[in-house]
Chains A and B, each alone.
Chain A
Amino acid sequence: MSTIQLNDINLVFQVWREKRIKDILIPGSRKFNDFHADGTVHALDSLNLIVHDGERLAVIGHNGAGKSTLLKLIAGIYAPTSGQLIVNGRVSSMFELATGFEMESNGWDNIYLRGLMLGETPESIKRKMREIAEFSELGDFLNMPVKYYSSGMFVRLAFSVSTTIKPDILLLDEVVGAGDAAFLQKANRRMHEMVDISKIMVLVTHSMDSACEMCNRCIWMERGKILMDGIPAEVTQAYLTSIKKEQPL
């Protein structure tokens, strides 16, 4: 039984801002600064959300709406400023591209390390190595230090690890964008399979098609709040309509 439950979650980023001599001497030199006067950004604003077993949740919204922050909060990477977060089940995640690799090590070592970090034991990840390698289709490239990899190859590697370890909860962030067409298809197929294996999936996406195709629930976020929550077809439609209104062309 897996669940994700957010009770009145707030997350406030303390954004770097130091008072500089220029700011004191020239008042108004800071007018291009968008942040609050105290240098904070309210990334998640009193969020309430419950995700149950069997739900595949798509998260859509503009850049900076708080989608990725929400995902990292669920993953346990960002701690909430206030509120209560309950996550039951083993989480596997994949966020920004090409981070969290040992650049000097080869693909195999990185699969091993990434597997460990996602909660595998040395034995269990070693058993899954071959399967991960096969899915990634990286072949001989796996013997090469990953610093020579392209962004698409990093995606292949990271996606293969994150989805092969069969988590209860799978968190994905815009991941397959950098893969080529063939891998994209394969990844989509894998995600469909994952739907059966993992109990909960949360997918942050800008592709309305993926949201409708892959998910059975969709939330639309704006400025750290949930604007709409419902079935993907309706929510994506409302979102697209709102974009058209903003840009009448």
Chain B
Amino acid sequence: MFSQYFRGIWRDRFILISLVNKDLQLKYRRSKLGVAWAVLMPLGLAIIIGAVYSVIFGVNPREFIPLLFAGLNPWLFLSGTADGGTMAFIGAEGYLKQTTVNAQIFPLRIALVNFVNLLYSVLAFFTVYLFLQPGAFSARMLLCLPGLALLFLFSLGLANLAAIVNLEIRDFQPLQSLILQGLFYATPIIYQPEMLKEKGFELVYRINPFYYLIDVVRTPMQGKFLPSWDIWLTAIVIAVAMFTLSVAVLMRHKKDITFRL
């Protein structure tokens, strides 16, 4: 099952590359700022939320904005990939019904396009961070790379599942975006985990898989600490389990896809 999944991707690698390139070009065509939006979007959000928080809760924006920015980047990638995944097969109907292109490349296409955007905004983060807290730069930051890899694996799994489930039940797309919206507030992104801990709601993020995957990216990026071993391990287990499950489901239903479009 797995070898079939990867062999199919390898066979259609040129199609995949060509589609991803096209998506990236189209995404910013006719926009004046172009690819800068990949940077401005999370940065703007971080500044808005940071400004609100510093007024209402009196937090120090200099400290809080990098924290927000670091957490929003992986979150936007994750939710964008899951959301785009719902339309992965539906949007590729023409290809799937005309040719024998391997269906598994379409959720991967969504994940790759979003991942390139994530990389842009990670670079933007480091640029901004260099001005705000130059002292925090350290070799620890390199550990965001394995973190990014885990996040990618997990999000690709979400996209695979969303693509398949949405074929069967079209209600899945609005349902999923509602759940993601809820999880956005349940995951310590726009506030610090300690805030939940103090109020006795530690469990809310402890049982939340998204927390671990975002933490293995965000904490190394800030260069001050590293996530503890249990967080790394949990993230690895969750990412691998999600990906494995999604590939199993996808390959099992692969030949039904054209019938469902």
| A positions within 8 Å CB-CB of B | 13-14, 72, 75-79, 91, 93-96, 99-102, 104-105, 109, 112-114, 116-118, 121-122
Contacts and interface: CB of A to CB of B under 8 A. Distances in A.
Given A113-B18, A122-B14, 13 more contacts: A77-B98, A77-B99, A78-B259, A79-B255, A99-B97, A99-B98, A104-B22, A105-B26, A113-B15, A114-B99, A117-B15, A117-B99, A121-B14
A88 to B, nearest CB: 15
B100 interface: yes
17 contacts: A13-B259, A72-B258, A77-B97, A77-B98, A94-B98, A95-B98, A96-B98, A100-B98, A102-B19, A105-B26, A109-B18, A113-B22, A116-B12, A117-B15, A117-B95, A117-B98, A117-B99
A76 B258 CA distance: 10
B96 interface: yes
Given A13-B259, A78-B258, A104-B26, A112 B98 contact: no
Interface string B77-100: 000000000000000011111111
B97 A96 contact: yes
B101 interface: yes
Interface in B9-23: 12, 14-15, 18-19, 22
A66 to B, nearest CB: 15
Contacts of A91: 100
B257 to A, nearest CB: 10
Interface in B136-178: none
Contacts of B29: 104
Interface in B227-261: 255, 258-259
A119 to B, nearest CB: 8
Contacts of B95: 100, 117
Contacts of B26: 104-105
Nearest to A92: B99
B98 to A, nearest CB: 4
B14 A116 contact: yes
Contact of A116 (B15, B97, B259): B15
B14 to A, nearest CB: 5
B166 to A, nearest CB: 14
A146 to B, nearest CB: 11
A116 B19 CA distance: 11
B99 A102 contact: no
Contacts of A79: 255
A121 B259 CA distance: 28
B103 to A, nearest CB: 11
* 3 A-B pairs closest in CB distance: A99-B94, A100-B94, A100-B98
Interface string B17-50: 0110010001001000000000000000000000
